[in-house]
Structure 1
Amino acid sequence: MSSMKHLVYAVIQFLSEQSQRDVYTSDEQESLEVAVQCLETVYKISPEDTYLAAPKTLEDIFSQSVFKNDDLTPIESPSSSPEETEKAEELKDEGNNFMKEQSYEAAVDRYSQAVELDPNNAVYYCNRAAAHSQLGNHSDAITDCEKAISIDAKYSKAYGRMGRALTAMNKYKEAISSYQKALDLDPENESYKSNLKIAEQKLRQVPSPTSAGWGFDMASLMNNPAFVSMTASLMQDPQAQQLMSGMMSNAGGGPAAGVGGLTDLSSLIQAGQQFAQQIQQQNPELIQQLRNHVRSRSFSGSTEEHS
Structure 2
Amino acid sequence: MSELKRLAYSIIDFLREQTKSQAWTSDERESLEVAMQCLENVFKISSQDIHLAVSPPLTEIFSAAITKDLIWNTPSDFTPSAQDVIKAEQLKNEGNNYIKEENYRAAVESYTQAIELDPNSAVYFCNRAAAQSKLNNYTAAIEDCERAIAIDPDYSKAYGRMGLALTSLNKHSEAITYYKKAVELDPENGTFKSNLRVAEQKIGEASSPTGAGLGFDLASLLNNPSFVSMAASLMQNPQLQQLMSGMMSNAISGPAAGVGGLTDMGSLIQAGQQFAQQMQEENPELIEQLRNQIRTRSFSGSNEGHS
TM-score, normalised relative to structure 1 = 0.45
Q: Return the index of the structure with the highest Cα Rg.
A: 2
TM-score, normalised relative to structure 2 = 0.45
